[in-house]
Structure 1
């Protein structure tokens, strides 16, 4: 006489447990930052120089920033003082927070041709970490490139 074990109840139990855990488990949601873009307007919204902070993304994962706007050539205003930092907690994050303590600020983010896509992602993360409400991705001008080239020399 041989003994025969009926495995049907154990297989049923295994499938019931598998189904239970599959239906009750929450899957990992992808980490993403919500970015709300405004409706494109035909009229440019002016930014006051007193509330502006311009961030230039350069090569080598370097971040350059200055306070105010870079005035175009032909004006009597002097070129702004360009500061260079990085993406660490004591870098651009601290500079943005110091500027926020002085009052409302609008951050203009300009990416140079030498900047990497990761730099843009990192600066958007910094805007999220510092709870900066008003910021804009702006095309870099020739005056900004000239200022950036003078700083890297």
Structure 2
């Protein structure tokens, strides 16, 4: 503990005692308190995006739905903050059918809502996101946020098909 050291000095009639406190043990106590609070405090957890992955299915042959182009909408994330969408199959996709929009939540939500309203089977309506090799991560996260805003639970992430890539490259030239 702290030690009080006193010395007597005499100046004239009064005896004055000088008090000197040894603070060395207080340093140890401060470090002990610091370590205690560091180990008992909770650190903030990082914010992560929930992708909502499906549960593992033990069935080796799961049921596959044949989702036609009217029950889905496909977004292609391109370079230079560009995003395109279509509702076409391999035979019907043309440069005019590949439409461009921006990452505004209002625009993407309207496009998704319109496609959902026109879908013949709303229970299997699916949003497909296909980032190209030139797309950046920020645009992908913005697209996932827009899907979350639209409150649609069925979506998938896939590679761009060769026939889509051919039309996409013709459009961006």
TM-score, normalised relative to structure 1: 0.71
Query: 4+ residue runs of structure 1 moved beyond 6 angstroms?
Result: none
Deviation at 1:148, TM superposition (A): 1.3
8 Å CA contact 1:87–1:93 kept in 2: the answer is no
SS of 1:28's equivalent in the other structure is coil
Quick one: higher RCO (CA 8 Å, sep 6+), 1 or 2? 1
User: 2:67 matched to 1:51?
Assistant: no
Q: Distance in 2 between matches of 1:78 and 1:64?
A: 12
Structure 1 residues 78 and 30, CA gap change in structure 2 (3 angstroms):
closer
Q: 2:160 aligns with which of 136, 140, 144?
A: 140
Give structure 1 stretches of 5+ with no counterpart: none
Q: 2:148 aligns with which of 120, 128, 133?
A: 128
8 Å CA contact 1:54–1:65 kept in 2: the answer is yes
Cα deviations across residues 44-90 of structure 1 (Å, max 9, x unaligned)?
Answer: 43213222111001111211112x2x3224xxx46372221222334
Q: Distance in 1 between matches of 2:149 and 2:93?
A: 32
Q: Distance in 1 between matches of 2:72 and 2:37?
A: 52
Q: Please name the residue that 1:35 is paired with.
A: 51
Alignment of 1:2-151 (within 5 A): 2-7=18-23, 11=27, 14=30, 18=34, 21-22=37-38, 25-38=41-54, 39=56, 44-66=64-86, 68=87, 70-73=88-91, 77=92, 79=94, 81-100=97-116, 104=122, 105-151=125-171
Cα deviations across residues 107-137 of structure 1 (Å, max 9, x unaligned)?
Answer: 0111222222333233223223333210011
Which of structures 1 and 2 has the bigger CA Rg?
A: 2
Aligned residue-pair number: 148
Give structure 2 stretches of 5+ with no counterpart: 1-6, 8-17
Deviation at 1:12, TM superposition (A): 7.0
RMSD of aligned residue pairs (Cα, Å): 3.2
TM-score, normalised relative to structure 2: 0.65
